Structure 1
Amino acid sequence: MDPYSSSPAVTIIGGGMVGTACGLALQERGLSVTIIDAGSERDKASFGNAGVISNGSIFPMASPGIWKQLLRYALNRDNGLRLRYGDLPFLAPWLLRFLANANTQRRENAVEALVPLTAQALSYHQKWAQRTNSEHLIRQEGWLRLYRSAEGFASSAADRQLFERHGVKFEVLDTQTLHELEPALQHPFHRALWLTETATVATPGELLAAYQQLFQQQGGRWVSDHVQQLHIAEGHVQLYGKQQHYKSQTVVLAAGALSTPLCQQLGYRIPMVAERGYHLSLPMPEDGPVLRRAVYDVAAGYVAAPMQDQLRLLSGVELAHPQSRANPIQLERLYPAAREALGLAPTMDSSQLWSGNRPSTPDSLPVLGFAPRHQQVLCAFGHGHIGFSTGPITGELIARLICREHLPVDIHPFRVDRF
């Protein structure tokens, strides 16, 4: 078959949560859509995340507090953030931009930009979950930010002020109230913030698979290939994959960190690193109460999330080159604190280790919109740790851009040429 015999209206490169959601939103408007995806589902960040859909996921990684902890971070003594020093030549330009964003004004600007995305994240997930009969996977029990000391809780004051300013509802729990809400937590945490409007997904990979299935049931074409080159020719976008060539009227780049080399071919240099995440799938403790909702132990640097009959233990962030080999040292270091708080096995079983790359920009904002000099190409990547959560609202925005509809979110802060 001649790969140029037909030209779909829109081709999406990348079939994770963002790319699939773009496909569904475009189908809803009657467009012919093809998704070209290179990797297995298990490799996607959409598979391995904590499944949190929160209107409180509004904080960029760069913040003024980094300067006080800079030496600690630089020496890799904090479980929340680790630098892969072997990748420093690749990371250095990004890190300089990242540190330039570590001030109060830029942090608040980023929060202002993210709030409209995160505020609508759950409603769009609920829409597609209903259409795929997957509502049972989304639980609305909130999630918890845990503080081990009075000092740690005091350090959250700026976050709490921003929550209040932007209408993110939360409750402050003392040690006893927290124990009543989550008796599975065995450590006497000093305080907790309960973000009451947050939802969690029982199995993120299963929800994504349901969305992908709906896309194909509705006539969407799914192609397994790795697009390596693209250029504009004869009124179309020409795509060159490992398997064959393709052409399309419009292309959406939604392949996470793999999108940046394609952007560079068009002359756009977008700073991007891998916000590497790791998780372990562990059996639930056989005795005693079971964790009901996702928790973030701020000082220890881990997130624990119940996933059906298992517990997913997730590490902090490792900044690395997307192709660097996995190194679970963060999980190894945080495991004793997690074991003590959650009643885990005495030793860490690495047989169920997962790692994945979340595409991260230095200002923690996604890259959304038309490529300025190439109006047949749109960008939809760089969401960092909120891609799973904000994928469906991103899909809606991309579809509205293509169909020239009104946008419910100001996307100027996410523009492609802001760097």
Structure 2
Amino acid sequence: MDCDIIVLGAGIVGVSTALHLQARGRDVCLVDRAEPGSGTSHGNAGLIERSSVMPYAFPRSFAALLRYGLNRQPDVRYSPSFLPRIAPWLASYWHHSSARLLEQAAQAMLPLVERCVDEHDHLVEEAGLGHLIRARGWMDVYRSPQALAQAGDEARALDRFGLRYEVLGAAELHKREPHLGNVVAGGIHWHDPKTVLDPGALVRGYSDLFVRRGGRLLKGNASTLRQQVGGWCVTAEGREIQGREAVVALGPQSATVFRELGYRIPLAIKRGYHMHYAAQSGAVLEHSVCDSLGGYVLAPMARGIRLTTGIEFAAPEAPGNEIQLRRAERLARELFPLGERLDAEPWLGRRPCLPDMRPVIGPAPGHPGLWFNFGHAHHGLTLGPVSGRLLAEMITGAKTFTNPAPFGAQRFA
């Protein structure tokens, strides 16, 4: 055997899993065809989202369904030709978004969300990446007093989770973000989350820590994974790499492996875009800001101000387009004085999502020595280190910090 465990995928989830296994004495090979953090982990809004205690649910009201059905909203867009393919998954998502099942999902996810900042803090300190992290929280902003009042009620309904937040009127909000436009009536400042100035650099920094500890980072093709006597092997660096166990942590590409092995896990893709902008002369954005009207985030990043869009349902392999980005950009220019675009073209990312709003973390039911860690939807950056810890505890037989049963692949049997 070349190693104890092969981890497939060098995004935030795979790198974090490799680090936690390594810290527990396992010899790990981390395999990816691309550079660490260059996929979905690179393009997000950079939020370590401690305040996201309720999963993103499918809208249930008739008015909301009608509004989204018209396909003119900036926060959610669908490709009409793709709708027949995704319709069964959307129906399951709608089913799991009932009040009862949503509460079940929230309770299952809560132990992971509660530990997300602490797990990042530990790795950030060890990797020496503190310069990439800001502890300022982030803000939801609203364009009408009515929307702000409703958001305040919804925030107070989360008081049982012990979150720290402030409801800000327009004057208070402009004291903290003086360059926001007058279109805002106020906002909610969530204090528990942290933000990342360069998510891709954070993942690369974590992978560098893995290598410094003695781990092996290899270029390879995850689709070549196969079971053999006593373990698993994959082609990397021009030869077969053998390990006693293997972890599939490939984010949106995980299906290329588990489907070949006979698993019918309903992993779908929510696409999203980002673009970087300069700020107009003298304008500064101090916090990451989410515009509730458009479902986009403006985040101050190392490269500039990153605008990340909401959700696009389209074929994963379809070429990108600017429809949703242009809708969001039009609203964003009302919110903040954005300057010129800094990227030659929009970045397109693919979020791996499951209809019950929980990732798959745990053993592959029909293949001893194979483990899964994928499907983190909008919160891969947030949950990478904590889900890596949970899986490493399971693999090494340690006491797990929470019950892993809600994340088992067998729930889709």
Q: TM-score range by the shorter chain?
A: over 0.9
Residue 170 (structure 1) aligns with: 165
Distance 1:256 1:418, change over 3 A: same
What are the superposed Cα offsets for residues 313-343 of structure 1, whole Å, 9 maximum, x if unpaired?
1111112332221122111012121011101
Equivalence map 1:241-390=2 (5 Å): 243-288=238-283, 290-308=284-302, 310-345=304-339, 351-390=344-383
Residue 195 (structure 2) aligns with: 200
What are the superposed Cα offsets for residues 218-255 of structure 1, whole Å, 9 maximum, x if unpaired?
11111112221434331212335695433321111100
Say if 2:126 is the partner of 1:127: no
Q: Could you tell me which runs of 5 or more consecutive residues in structure 2 were left unpaired when the two chains were aligned.
A: none
What residue identity is the alignment partner of 2:403?
Answer: D
What residue identity is the alignment partner of 2:264?
Answer: R
Distance 1:69 1:355, change over 3 A: same
Superposed displacement of residue 59, structure 1:
2.8
Say if 2:141 is the partner of 1:146: yes
Contact conserved, 1:273 with 1:319, CA < 8 A, in 2? no
Q: What is the total number of aligned residue pairs between the two structures?
A: 412
Residue 3 (structure 1) aligns with: none
Residue 395 (structure 1) aligns with: 388
Equivalence map 1:408-419=2 (5 Å): 408-419=401-412
What residue identity is the alignment partner of 1:299?
Answer: L
Contact conserved, 1:281 with 1:352, CA < 8 A, in 2? no
Whole-Å separation in 2 of the counterparts to 1:58 and 1:375? 33
Q: TM-score, normalised by structure 2?
A: 0.94
Whole-Å separation in 1 of the counterparts to 2:328 and 2:294? 6
Whole-Å separation in 1 of the counterparts to 2:345 and 2:376? 26
What residue identity is the alignment partner of 2:301?
Answer: M
What are the superposed Cα offsets for residues 353-404 of structure 1, whole Å, 9 maximum, x if unpaired?
2111111111221111111222311110000110011111111111111111
- Report the 3-state secondary structure (helix = DSSP H, G, I; strand = E; otherwise coil) of the residue aligned with 1:11: strand
Superposed displacement of residue 154, structure 1:
4.2
Q: TM-score, normalised by structure 1?
A: 0.93
Superposed displacement of residue 174, structure 1:
0.6
Identity of aligned residues (%): 34
Equivalence map 1:60-79=2 (5 Å): 60-65=55-60, 67-79=62-74
Distance 1:244 1:258, change over 3 A: farther
Whole-Å separation in 2 of the counterparts to 1:395 and 1:12? 11
Contact conserved, 2:12 with 2:37, CA < 8 A, in 1? no
Contact conserved, 1:35 with 1:223, CA < 8 A, in 2? yes
Contact conserved, 1:50 with 1:303, CA < 8 A, in 2? yes
Whole-Å separation in 2 of the counterparts to 1:325 and 1:138? 33
**CA RMSD of the aligned region, Å?**
2.0
What residue identity is the alignment partner of 2:384?
Answer: G
- Report the 3-state secondary structure (helix = DSSP H, G, I; strand = E; otherwise coil) of the residue aligned with 1:111: helix
What residue identity is the alignment partner of 2:327?
Answer: R
Deviates more, 1:47-56 or 1:230-239: 230-239
What are the superposed Cα offsets for residues 62-107 of structure 1, whole Å, 9 maximum, x if unpaired?
2454543112212212211112233234312211211112211111
Whole-Å separation in 2 of the counterparts to 1:358 and 1:58? 19
- Report the 3-state secondary structure (helix = DSSP H, G, I; strand = E; otherwise coil) of the residue aligned with 1:160: helix
- Report the 3-state secondary structure (helix = DSSP H, G, I; strand = E; otherwise coil) of the residue aligned with 2:131: helix
What residue identity is the alignment partner of 1:249?
Answer: R
Distance 1:108 1:161, change over 3 A: farther
Q: Could you tell me which runs of 5 or more consecutive residues in structure 1 were left unpaired when the two chains were aligned.
A: 1-5
Distance 1:162 1:268, change over 3 A: farther
What residue identity is the alignment partner of 1:216?
Answer: V
For 2:207, which of 202, 207, 212 is the aligned residue? 212
Whole-Å separation in 2 of the counterparts to 1:417 and 1:107? 19
- Report the 3-state secondary structure (helix = DSSP H, G, I; strand = E; otherwise coil) of the residue aligned with 2:204: helix
What residue identity is the alignment partner of 1:236?
Answer: G
Deviates more, 1:9-18 or 1:366-375: 366-375
Residue 96 (structure 2) aligns with: 101
Whole-Å separation in 1 of the counterparts to 2:281 and 2:146? 34
